[in-house]
């Protein structure tokens, strides 16, 4: 079930009414309603994968309870290993089996021992990369003693399957979200209203920006040789807006939707379009995933402790693994490695935490230096998009070679006159609200009601006018 579908437009108010009216003051009944709704939501794609979700949930719930019953470190490590093997094993099988099998066979062929491997026709379960990491955070945090294991199977199952953020995040920490399922939520009209505003902005970014950038990006990168380098460069920029509008739009809808039910999810995007360097970009982009890799991969490797070479190693491992998380392709790992190389000069010079606050605080416009930094960061990120879009490394190198040809100085050939004002609206709204949680938070709170409702009406009108006739899945569903 897609957030941008008629099905969800009917599903959400029904669940909302059942939750607050039928659920009443019973915590167990409310959690059961959310669990049933979440399984219905997930099963709307393919009911067969509900068993996979339930199995992962059962394993981690049992692991947590077993950890509570023993103080022996060896047994606790063995239990954690069970959780890691089951969850990462399922993820590896469904997402990476064919890739590693093919690479294994190719390696033997290179050594003069040709072999064939079976290729399985595997359907990737929607959201498996997200809910796997969410359940793992629970097992790891229980093992570390950061939280007590859950004793309520319904609340735990609802935490794992919570439909607003189940299939594309934010990837919540158990320490933040699970306790919210253990306490009775009270309806807060102000939070629910703000959630509706955030959902509206997320829908605008998805339906109006992302879905209307996508056809131009596809047209250029499906046949980049036929276009000038400047057109390829502009398409790479539009791809960045497509992914940002799509992924951050999903997060906005998820966070806003959760507020309707009394839940607070972590922020996932903090205006990365205005980042002044790569380090700041990664602090603002897909925060739930980047902080997950920081807490559960980078820190266990040694983090920022130890000599410089060890810190460089840890950084590169995290970036390459985060690239692999996106999918079974060398292009994703190369994309991760490229961003790691971007990051290293700041790590070595100790400037990776230079920009921690919002840009241009208290000013309408950035300085020339800030604007130049934002432009430079955008260029680096757009070069990385070439790796993300390539079908294989040969395609990436061919595209990069074409990108740096003399036709880079020609006029781009993308003709989309209606798209540019919408993009300008995106940048303007997010720039105005860059020190707030989302673009409509400030506009919704500080502007007089005629202006507020004019903005809401304009966004609704744009969504209706520019919505594609077909339902377009969210980009990160494929990961």
pLDDT at 41 over 60: yes
Looking at 137, 154, 185, the residue that finishes a domain is: 185
Q: Are residues 162 and 239 in the same domain?
A: no
For range 45-52, the mean pLDDT: 85
More confident residue, 446 or 177: 177
Residue 314 domain-assigned (yes or no): no
Closest among 215, 208, 273, 252 to 421, alpha carbons compared:
208
pLDDT at 99 over 70: no
Question: pTM of the prediction?
Answer: 0.91
Question: So what's the pLDDT on residue 105?
Answer: 57
- The CA radius of gyration of the chain, in Å to the nearest whole number, is 23
For range 55-83, the mean pLDDT: 92
Q: Would you tell me how many other CB atoms lie within 10 Å of the CB of residue 472? A: 18
For range 402-422, the mean pLDDT: 88
Q: Are residues 169 and 201 in the same domain?
A: no
Question: So what's the pLDDT on residue 126?
Answer: 80
More confident residue, 475 or 337: 337
Q: Are residues 132 and 61 in the same domain?
A: yes
Question: So what's the pLDDT on residue 103?
Answer: 56
Q: Does 326 participate in catalysis according to the annotation? A: yes
445 lies in which domain range? 190-276+355-478
Residue 335 domain-assigned (yes or no): no
Q: Are residues 23 and 37 in the same domain?
A: yes
Using H for helix, E for strand and C for coil, what is the string for the chain?
CCCCCHHHHHHHHHHHHHHHHHCCCCHHHHHHHHHHHHHHHHHCCCHHHHHHHHHHHHHHHHHHHHHHCCCCHHHHHHHHHHHHHHHHHHHHHHHHHHHHHHHHHHHHHHCCCCCCCCCCCCCCCCCHHHHHHHHHHHHHHHHHCCCCCCCCHHHHHHHHHCHHHCCCCCCCCHHHHHHHHCCCCCCCHHHHHHHHHHHHHHHHHHHHHHHHHHHHHHHHHCCHHHCCHHHHHHHHHHHHHHHHHHHHHHHHHHHHHHHHCCCCCCCCCCCHHHCCCHHHHHHHCCHHHHHHHHHHHHHHHCCCCCCHHHHHHHHHHHHHHHHHHHCCCHHHHHHHHHHHHHHHHHHHHCCCCCCCCCCCCCCCCCCHHHHHHHHHHHHHHHHHHHHHHCCCHHHHHHHHHHHCCHHHHCCCCCCCCCHHHHHHHHHHHHHHCCCCCCHHHHHHHHCCHHHHHHHHHHHHHHHHHHCCCCCCCCHHHHC
Looking at 185, 202, 228, the residue that finishes a domain is: 185
pLDDT at 423 over 80: yes
Q: Are residues 209 and 85 in the same domain?
A: no
For range 202-218, the mean pLDDT: 93
Of 111-115, 204-208, 468-472, give the lowest mean pLDDT range. 111-115
pLDDT at 287 over 90: yes
pLDDT at 115 over 70: no
Q: Are residues 208 and 176 in the same domain?
A: no
Percent of the chain predicted with pLDDT > 90: 59
pLDDT at 204 over 90: yes
Question: So what's the pLDDT on residue 476?
Answer: 67
Instruction: Check the CA dihedral 125-130-133-135 and report its sign.
Output: negative
Q: Which of 224, 326, 385, 438 is catalytic?
A: 326
Residue 93 domain-assigned (yes or no): yes
Q: Report the C-alpha gap between 375 and 359 in whole angstroms.
A: 13
Residue 270 domain-assigned (yes or no): yes
At 266, is the pLDDT very low, low, confident or very high (cuts 50, 70, 90)?
Answer: very high
Structure confidence by residue, pLDDT tens digits, 463-475: 998 887 776 777 6
pLDDT at 96 over 90: no
- Count of domains forming the chain: 2
Residue 1 domain-assigned (yes or no): no
Question: Could you tell me if 249 and 475 are in contact, meaning their C-beta atoms sit under 8 angstroms apart?
Answer: no
Q: How many residues does the chain have?
A: 479
pLDDT at 81 over 90: yes
pLDDT at 54 over 70: yes
Q: Are residues 179 and 216 in the same domain?
A: no
Percent of the chain predicted with pLDDT > 70: 92
Structure confidence by residue, pLDDT tens digits, 116-133: 666 666 677 788 888 899
At 259, is the pLDDT very low, low, confident or very high (cuts 50, 70, 90)?
Answer: very high
Q: Are residues 14 and 143 in the same domain?
A: yes
Q: Are residues 195 and 175 in the same domain?
A: no
Structure confidence by residue, pLDDT tens digits, 341-354: 999 999 999 998 89
Tokens linked to 350 = 């100790």
Question: Could you tell me if 210 and 261 are in contact, meaning their C-beta atoms sit under 8 angstroms apart?
Answer: no
Q: Are residues 403 and 439 in the same domain?
A: yes
At 45, is the pLDDT very low, low, confident or very high (cuts 50, 70, 90)?
Answer: confident
For range 35-55, the mean pLDDT: 90
Residue 285 domain-assigned (yes or no): no
Question: Could you tell me if 197 and 440 are in contact, meaning their C-beta atoms sit under 8 angstroms apart?
Answer: yes
Q: Are residues 14 and 81 in the same domain?
A: yes
Looking at 166, 185, 204, the residue that finishes a domain is: 185
Residue 225 domain-assigned (yes or no): yes
For range 404-414, the mean pLDDT: 87
For range 179-201, the mean pLDDT: 92
Structure confidence by residue, pLDDT tens digits, 142-175: 999 999 999 999 999 999 999 999 887 799 999 9
Q: Are residues 73 and 173 in the same domain?
A: yes
Residue 430 domain-assigned (yes or no): yes
């Amino acid at each position: 079930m897609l957030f941008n579908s008629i099905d969800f437009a009917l599903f959400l108010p029904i669940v909302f009414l059942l939750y607050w009216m039928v659920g009443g003051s019973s915590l167990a009944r409310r959690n059961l309603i959310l669990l049933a709704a979440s399984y219905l939501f997930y099963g709307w794609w393919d009911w067969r994968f509900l068993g996979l979700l339930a199995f992962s949930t059962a394993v981690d719930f049992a692991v947590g309870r077993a950890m509570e019953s023993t103080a022996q470190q060896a047994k606790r490590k063995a239990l954690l290993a069970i959780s890691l093997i089951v969850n990462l094993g399922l993820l590896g099988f469904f997402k990476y089996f064919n890739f590693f099998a093919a690479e294994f066979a190719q390696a033997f062929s290179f050594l003069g021992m040709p072999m064939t491997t079976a290729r399985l026709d595997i359907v990737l379960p929607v959201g498996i990369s997200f809910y796997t990491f969410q359940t793992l955070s629970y097992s790891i945090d229980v093992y570390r003693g950061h939280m007590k294991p859950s004793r309520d199977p319904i609340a735990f199952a609802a935490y794992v399957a919570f439909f607003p953020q189940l299939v594309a995040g934010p990837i919540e920490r158990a320490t933040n979200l699970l306790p919210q399922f253990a306490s009775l939520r009270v309806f807060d009209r102000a939070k629910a209203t703000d959630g509706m505003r955030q959902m509206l902005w997320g829908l605008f970014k998805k339906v109006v920006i992302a879905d209307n950038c996508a056809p131009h990006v596809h047209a250029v990168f499906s046949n980049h040789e036929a276009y000038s380098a400047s057109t390829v460069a502009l398409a790479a920029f539009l791809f960045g807006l497509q992914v940002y509008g799509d992924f951050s739009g999903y997060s906005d809808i998820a966070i806003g939707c959760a507020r309707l039910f009394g839940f607070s999810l972590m922020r996932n995007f903090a205006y990365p379009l205005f980042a002044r360097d790569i380090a700041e970009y990664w602090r603002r982009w897909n925060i739930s995933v980047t902080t997950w890799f920081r807490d559960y991969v980078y820190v266990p490797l040694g983090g920022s402790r130890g000599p410089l070479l060890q810190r460089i190693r840890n950084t590169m491992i995290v970036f390459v693994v985060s690239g692999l998380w996106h999918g079974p392709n060398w292009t994703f790992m190369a994309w991760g490695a490229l961003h790691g190389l971007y990051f290293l000069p700041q790590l070595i010079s100790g400037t990776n935490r230079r920009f921690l606050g919002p840009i241009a605080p208290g000013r309408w416009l950035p300085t020339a230096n800030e604007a130049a930094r934002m432009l430079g960061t955008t260029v680096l990120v757009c070069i990385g998009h070439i790796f993300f879009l390539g079908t294989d490394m040969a395609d990436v190198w061919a595209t990069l070679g074409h990108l740096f040809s003399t036709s880079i100085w020609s006029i781009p050939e993308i003709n989309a006159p209606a798209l540019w004002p919408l993009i300008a609206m995106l940048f303007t709204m997010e720039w105005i609200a860059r020190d707030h949680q989302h673009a409509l938070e400030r506009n919704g709170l500080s502007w007089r009601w005629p202006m507020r409702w004019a903005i809401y009406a304009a966004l609704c009108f744009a969504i209706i006018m520019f919505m594609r006739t077909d339902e377009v899945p969210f980009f990160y569903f494929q990961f």
